[in-house]
């Protein structure tokens, strides 16, 4: 299977498919963190039509429901929606777009499924929406009990969320257990 993973600098999803014997490439504005086939640049400037499966992780900073940037950057919100909808409009046989729960006011297309990292072996709670075309639902591979941490102020977090550095790059890095589930379950179509 030929797989293109768009808006991914970590190489996590790309490498999961390569591990399973597929031809996979990633594309992102940032350089890849893991050696492998990677195009640095805007994914919209390339022809992805020869790929069987597209998995896209468009930036969610301005469209996720938890974003505090909603009213501050209308131009950035517009650009984020345009990239999301470009991914959504791809005509490949199989397509998956991954993002957190979006703001309702943006009227994005309805998502197909919500998954959680703890369903795939990560001590982390993060509702993750999948918009899929011609793909079966992703099924859990390793459900674990979540560990919680209560701060001195009484706020409660999952251990994985609390321990992850508070920057966008680390928070946006995809979960290897979910990536492997995608490669295992969708790489056999």
Identify whether 38 is part of a domain.
yes
Identify whether 22 is part of a domain.
yes
In angstroms, the CA 93 to CA 100 distance is 23
Identify whether 152 is part of a domain.
no
Q: Total structural domains in the chain?
A: 1
CB-CB contact of 177 with 117 (8 Å): yes
Question: Is it the case that residue 71 has pLDDT exceeding 70?
Answer: no
Identify whether 69 is part of a domain.
yes
Question: Is it the case that residue 1 has pLDDT exceeding 70?
Answer: yes
CATH of the domain at 7: 3.40.50.150
Identify whether 153 is part of a domain.
no
What per-residue confidence (pLDDT) applies to 3? 98
What per-residue confidence (pLDDT) applies to 4? 98
Identify whether 88 is part of a domain.
yes
What per-residue confidence (pLDDT) applies to 167? 66
Question: Is it the case that residue 43 has pLDDT exceeding 60?
Answer: yes
Encode pLDDT of 149-177 as tens digits. Answer: 898 999 888 888 777 776 667 777 899 99
CB-CB contact of 4 with 24 (8 Å): yes
Identify whether 149 is part of a domain.
no
What is the pTM (predicted TM-score) of this model? 0.92
Cβ-based neighbour number of residue 156 at 10 Å:
9
Cβ-based neighbour number of residue 137 at 10 Å:
10
Share of the chain above pLDDT 70, in %: 94
Identify whether 143 is part of a domain.
no
What per-residue confidence (pLDDT) applies to 73? 77
186 membership: H or E segment, kind and range? helix 176-186
Domain containing 25 equals 2-115+128-135+171-186
């Amino acid at each position: 299977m030929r797989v293109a993973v768009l808006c991914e600098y970590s190489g996590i999803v790309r490498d999961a498919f390569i591990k399973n014997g597929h031809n996979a490439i990633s594309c992102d504005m940032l350089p890849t963190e893991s050696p492998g086939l990677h195009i640095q640049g805007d994914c919209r400037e390339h022809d992805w039509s020869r790929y069987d499966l597209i998995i896209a992780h468009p930036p969610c900073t301005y469209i996720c429901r938890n974003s505090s940037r909603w009213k501050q950057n209308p131009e950035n919100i517009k650009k984020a929606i345009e990239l999301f909808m470009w991914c959504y409009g791809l005509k490949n046989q199989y397509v998956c777009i991954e993002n957190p729960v979006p703001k309702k006011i943006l009227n994005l297309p309805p998502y197909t499924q919500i998954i959680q990292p703890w369903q795939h072996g990560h001590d982390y709670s993060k509702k993750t929406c999948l918009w899929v075309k011609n793909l079966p639902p992703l099924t859990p591979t390793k459900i674990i009990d979540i560990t919680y941490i209560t701060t001195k102020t009484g706020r409660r977090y999952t251990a994985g969320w609390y321990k992850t550095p508070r920057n966008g790059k680390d928070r946006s890095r995809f979960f290897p257990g979910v990536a492997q589930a995608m490669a295992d379950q969708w790489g056999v179509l």
